[in-house]
Amino acid sequence: VKPPVIFSGIQPTGVPHLGNYLGALQQWVRLQNTAHPSTKLLYSIVDLHAITIPQDPERLRQWKRETLATLLAIGLDPNRSVLFYQSSVSAHSELMWILSCTASMGYLSRMTQWKSKLQLKDDASPLDEGSKSKLKLGLFSYPVLQAADILVHRATHVPVGEDQSQHLEFARECVTNFNHAYGPNLVAPQTIMSPAKRVMSLQDPHLKMSKSHSDPRSRILITDPPDVIHKKMMAALTDSTNSVSYDPENRPGVSNLLQLISHFNTEGKSAQELGLEYANFGLGQFKKAVAECISESLAPIRTKYEQVLAADGGRYLDHVWMQGAVKARESADATMEVVRKSVGL
Ligand code: ADP
Ligand code: NA
């Protein structure tokens, strides 16, 4: 039996928020620190995915560095986990093309993320020619690239948030199609679902915390300094009952804050338990406590973030991704050798 291979990716879209951290990235660190030593771990900053929408080149370069610095800051160890930029391993794109030749258009067009990116409803009428010409092929076919990201490293396990499970299913579909055509050479990956509840927006507890919301007070970035966290927290939308209780149905704002601090609670207390602990706090006093808890938990991450960005006159990060690229290429090239041979290339 071959040892497990864990793969996951994050888009370089700036410093991650608490939703990204608790919903996805924290799981990467947990896997790194608990996996059997024979387990291979690869975590990619997927810059080729980022260009499915227009990007400013200078800003994209900056965001890639910030994202890499974040991965190191939260505790990923480049000597244990392979950290690399997707575009520095060209086999990802090559396998994408080969998979495209056996992947089904129909399956792709039914995927909900595609529909939501186009802002289509399930029952939308077909697009007219004008709207069609504005659509980019890459935005449509990026699940094939995502499948290639996973399959090129023969990943057996992929940790994701709940919104990604459909894409994993598509990756497995790609394996079935390819293996049917060329023999059993690709490995179907399993999903590791993140245990964390969705983190909700501080400005609207019915929406998930997201970088796409225009109000920056709706999210806390994991490098936000304490005064910024305090301000965002004091502005958080709660309700008019001036006490604390865990009641997601009737008090979604307050309950979201309780959920948040439960993720950071070192004694593993649940949101319910914390609700009882803070029951006699007024809302202002409670928000202040939440801000302090989050600031304290993020402080070491923030310190490490600044440290790795500046290390070796800024060259440390280059060293990390280049070293990661060498290891990732090795892993991808081994797969591509088999794939090319089976296809006849
Ligand atoms: P955003 O919604 O800010 O654009 P992404 O779609 O880039 O975030 O998500 C990156 C990862 O973070 C995904 O695996 C996703 O499941 C997770 N994630 C994003 N927002 C949240 C949230 N509010 N709560 C929990 N997990 C989240
Ligand atoms: Na998103």
User: From the CA atom positions of the chain, what is the Rg in Å?
Assistant: 22
Residue 70 lies in a domain: yes
Q: Say if residue 128's pLDDT is above 80.
A: no
pLDDT of residue 288: 98
Q: And the tokens for 8?
A: 């996951």
Complex ipTM value: 0.94
What is d(CA 65, CA 257) in angstroms, rounded to the nearest whole number? 30
Is 245's pLDDT higher than 90?
yes
Could you say which of 115, 211, 304, 327 is catalytic? 211
Q: Ligand 1, atom 18: nearest CA belongs to which residue?
A: 20
pLDDT score of 91 more than 90: yes
Both 234 and 86 in one domain: the answer is no
Are residues 26 and 117 located together in one domain of the fold?
Answer: yes
CATH of the domain at 63: 3.40.50.620
**Tens digits of residue pLDDT in 304-326:** 999 999 999 999 999 999 999 99
* 211 CA: nearest ligand 1 atom: 3
Q: What is the pLDDT of residue 154?
A: 98
Q: What is the C-alpha separation between 261 and 269, in angstroms, rounded?
A: 9
Regarding whether 223 and 189 lie in a shared domain, the answer is: no
pLDDT at res. 123: 52
Residue 44 lies in a domain: yes
48 and 158 share a domain? Answer: yes
In ligand 1, which atom is closest to the CA atom of 17? 3
Of 258 and 119, which is predicted with more confidence? 258
Interatomic CA distance for residues 198 and 4, integer angstroms: 27
Per-residue pLDDT of 58-76, as tens digits, reads 999 999 999 999 999 999 9
Taking only the tens place, the pLDDT of each residue in 192-201 is: 988 777 899 9
Q: Taking every pair of C-alpha atoms in the chain, what is the biggest distance, in angstroms?
A: 71
For residue 284, report the distance from its CA to the centre of ligand 2, in Å: 31
- At residue 292, the pLDDT reads 98
The residue contributing the CA closest to ligand 1 atom 13 is 161
Query: What pLDDT was estimated at residue 107?
Result: 87
**What is the pLDDT, as a whole number, of residue 111?**
80
Handedness of CA 163, 165, 169, 171 (dihedral sign): positive
144 and 96 Cβ atoms separated by less than 8 Å: yes
Together in a domain, 30 and 104: yes
Q: Are residue 293 and residue 192 in the same domain, yes or no?
A: no
pLDDT score of 190 more than 70: yes
* 78 lies in the same domain as 225: no
Report the alpha-carbon distance of residue 151 to residue 192 in Å, rounded. 16
Active-site residue identified among 40, 134, 136, 208? 208
- Is residue 341 among the annotated active site residues? no
**Percentage of the chain surpassing pLDDT 70?**
94
What separation in Å is there between the alpha carbon of 344 and the centre of ligand 2?
A: 38
**Residues 106, 123 within the same domain:** yes
Two tokens, residue 209: 């915390």
| Length of the chain measured in residues | 345
Determine the structural domain holding residue 248 and report its residue range.
216-307
Ligand 1 atom at minimal distance to the Cα of residue 210: 3
**Res. 166 pLDDT band, cuts 50 70 90:** confident
Is residue 222 in contact with ligand 1, taking CB distance under 6 Å? Answer: no
Please report whether residue 121 resides in a domain. yes
Q: Are residues 81 and 51 in the same domain?
A: yes
pTM (two decimals): 0.92
What is the SS3 assignment for the chain?
Answer: CCCCEEEEEECCCCCCEHHHHHHHHHHHHHHHHHCCCCCEEEEEECHHHHCCCCCCHHHHHHHHHHHHHHHHHCCCCCCCEEEEEHHHCCHHHHHHHHHHCCCCHHHHHCCHHHHHHCCCCCCCCCCCHHHHHHCCHHHHHHHHHHHHHHHCCCCCEEEECHHHHHHHHHHHHHHHHHHHHHCCCCCCCEEEECCCCCCECCCCCCCECCCCCCCHHHCCECCCCHHHHHHHHHCCCCCCCCCCCCCCCCCHHHHHHHHHHHHHCCCCCCHHHHHHHCCCCCHHHHHHHHHHHHHHHHHHHHHHHHHHHHHHHHCHHHHHHHHHHHHHHHHHHHHHHHHHHHHCC
Does a structural domain hold residue 14?
Answer: yes
The CATH number given to whatever domain includes residue 247 is 1.10.240.10
- How many domains does the chain fold into? 2
- From the candidates 2, 40, 115, 117, give the one annotated as an active-site residue: 117
Position 16 in a domain? yes
Distance CA 124, CA 110 (A): 12
Phi, then psi, of 45 in degrees rounded to 5? -95, 105
The whole-chain average pLDDT of the chain stands at 93
Atom of ligand 1 at shortest range from CA of 209:
23
Q: Give yes or no: 134 in active site.
A: no
pLDDT at residue number 88: 98
Residue type, 112: T
pLDDT digits (tens, 9 = 90+) for 3-51: 999 999 999 998 999 999 999 999 999 999 999 999 999 999 999 999 9
CA distance 6 to 32: 9
User: What per-residue confidence (pLDDT) applies to 126?
Assistant: 60
Tell me the CA–centroid distance for residue 196 and ligand 2, in Å: 17
If asked whether residues 158 and 25 sit together in one domain, one would say yes
304 in active site: no
Work out the pLDDT band at 127, boundaries 50, 70, 90.
low
